[in-house]
Structure 1
Amino acid sequence: MWRALAFSLALVPAGAVAAPLPKPAALDAKVAALMARTHAQGMAVAVIDKGKVTYVNAYGIRNAKGDKLTTNTVIYGASITKTVFAYAVLHLVDQGKINLDTPIADDLDKPLIDYDTEAIHPDKYGPYKDLAGDDRWKTITPRMALTHSTGFANFWWTEPDKKLHIHFDPGTRYAYSGEGLILLQFAIDQGRKDKGLGIDVGQLTQDVVFTPLGMTRTSLMWRPDFRPNLADGW
């Protein structure tokens, strides 16, 4: 499961002249209104201006016991991590290990549909055997995965029959899909070692994103030291 430290509130100036940064009291009032409207129990906010963090605050509680949510609380990153993953993929592109427009099938040692993903790692990857009989999987590229145009639903288990399907020709239109990103992760994790793949994505993001940025309490992999100050939901 992917983790991040805080939810970022992006402030976008209107027009050619940059708007002044909101004062802390105004931000506090805005957050209070958002939390009331959405029934959120906790929120962390960071304001970034010209590449610098200018304001950080945390509000509410992090668990059912009522423990306070702080600016050091570990919060699930959810789909924010798609951006982190994309950055790591582009790092591999720069190294020549991945070509954005070459089919993912070319990065694997055998046909995608021949992998028993449950045996490799239960619940981590898609059931690619379901694609037998639909050769369109052979055309899916890393760029299609990153731009949500693989043809997959968001996740295979949201399908009525709980199977993986391609709903339109890959690359022909947009449809938000975490499943496409998981396929690309599979190719990196399990891909051809002669191409420099077979890399653990969790370690990859640690090496090329979190460690260089000094994000010592952020990880795609669970760490026991997260538990004492985790926003775990209820």
Structure 2
Amino acid sequence: MNSIFYLLVLLIFILMLTSCMTNEKSEKLLQERLEYDSAVLTDSTRSVISGIDGSEIDAFLLEEKIRSLMDSAKVTGLAIAILNDNQIVFRKAFGYANQRKKTSLQINHSFYGASFSKAVFGYIVTILADEGVIDLDKPLQQYLEFPLYALKPEHKWRGFQDLENDKRYEKITARMCLTHTAGFQNWRWIPRPNDPENREKLKIYFDPGTQYFYSGEGIMLLQYVIEHITGKGIEELAKEKVFDPLQMRNTSYVWQKKFESKYCQGHTENQNVIKKNRRDEAQAAGSMETNLIDYSVFVKHIMQLYKQGSGITKMMLNPSFRIRTKAQFGPLSLEQSDENDDIQLSYGLGWGLLQSPHGPGAFKEGHDDGFQHYSIIFPDKGTGVVILSNSDNAESIFKETLEIAIADIYTPWQWENYIPYQMKRE
């Protein structure tokens, strides 16, 4: 009888202890949520912002200049974060999330991240390389028990069977995919400038590792090999390596129900609203949904790792391939040029790279119908910018915005086709 009594007392004690622990955990999660929501509603603004050259601009004046640029170029909405000393010191949203409804854009509005997805993927792959999971320079074929062309994605993505008769696929490595030197076109449904008749077939246009040609196809190939090696999907890997550790609660490679309450629409050049695409397939090359808060936290993390001397950032931001093309896209992307030799334009693991008098710069673009984004960091200076826009006109003010905000005159704006709106109208 005594033993039953003691057992009951012990059971009650365990239940009380579990309840306390649960309450503590719940209170901690609630506190974290409140802190996050507070950050969402608060713009980070330092009164004076420093440029990479030591110049300064008053935050109020910067806001006025951005508004003026947006008005002149008919940019529907734009959210911008600026980092000084590796900290987010300015974070502001301008314009509309939905022009038709006149919904004001806020810094916690969700954007389609487009190719910002590739920068996050580059970081994930670099972590895996640092952990010894993958060798960046080992042919991807050597990680498979079957021919690479037989790799079958589990999702809706088309396979790689078009490569069966071109043995050059056996040379393709992870580094080539991340530096856009695998030999593919950007997307198989977009004709390459020198092959306008081919609209559906995936091809290797040059020996892998010998030329630069921006390719989402190469990123997708690497994604599926990584998933095969690890046994995990890209969304699971992203949550494990990036989103959860950095508390990027509103970032995902697939559309989440929680995004429904706070997202912005894309807009055409005429500021017409574009229907929202809720992507249900995780694509490392471009399916990520994010907001200014989360993505600026990611960029801040990369900058802080660099400051700490992390081997991961040394690997990721090390120039792997020198770029000497006249443009990144279009017919001029097939023309050789030395126009960007002064900035040593190169590519690292998922990031574009350059050199300036103020140290190296690392940048990444994002572009799709209705959405245009840009980010660049100068890690030696602890300075960076993240720009998210839901307008097809945004790229026409990137050059001036970067110059005004952080004195960045090194971004290869012509190569990226960021033609200022004034020049377009001439």
Q: 2:109 pairs with 63, 66, 73, which one?
A: 73
**132-141 or 62-71: which moved more?**
62-71
**71-80 or 59-68: which moved more?**
59-68
**Matches for 1:171-182 after TM superposition, within 5 Å:** 171-182=209-220
Q: 2:169 pairs with 137, 153, 161, which one?
A: 137
Consecutive unaligned residues of structure 2, counting only runs of 5 or more, are: 1-39, 41-49, 192-197, 267-273, 275-426
| Separation in structure 2 between the aligned mates of residue 222 and residue 72 of structure 1, nearest angstrom | 16
| Separation in structure 2 between the aligned mates of residue 59 and residue 227 of structure 1, nearest angstrom | 21
Larger radius of gyration between Structure 1 and Structure 2: 2
Matched with 1:157 is 189
**Matches for 1:103-122 after TM superposition, within 5 Å:** 103-117=139-153, 120-122=154-156
**Matches for 1:86-97 after TM superposition, within 5 Å:** 86-97=122-133
Matched with 1:25 is 60
TM-score (norm 1): 0.84
| Separation in structure 1 between the aligned mates of residue 166 and residue 51 of structure 2, nearest angstrom | 44
Q: CA deviation at 1:94?
A: 1.5
| Separation in structure 1 between the aligned mates of residue 51 and residue 226 of structure 2, nearest angstrom | 35
Q: Is the CA contact (8 Å cut-off) linking 1:127 and 1:164 kept in structure 2? A: no
| Separation in structure 1 between the aligned mates of residue 152 and residue 246 of structure 2, nearest angstrom | 36
Classify 1:74/1:168 alpha carbon distance in 2 versus 1 (closer, same or farther; 3 Å).
Answer: same
Q: CA deviation at 1:202?
A: 1.1
Q: Secondary structure at the match of 1:78?
A: coil
**Matches for 1:1-234 after TM superposition, within 5 Å:** 13-14=52-53, 18-20=54-56, 22-63=57-98, 64-117=100-153, 120-122=154-156, 124=157, 126-159=158-191, 160-189=198-227, 191-192=228-229, 197-233=230-266, 234=274
Q: Secondary structure at the match of 1:28?
A: helix
Classify 1:94/1:66 alpha carbon distance in 2 versus 1 (closer, same or farther; 3 Å).
Answer: same
Matched with 1:8 is none
Q: CA deviation at 1:38?
A: 4.2
Which structure shows the higher strand fraction? 2
TM-score (norm 2): 0.47
Could you say what the CA RMSD is over the residues aligned between the two structures, in angstroms?
A: 2.0
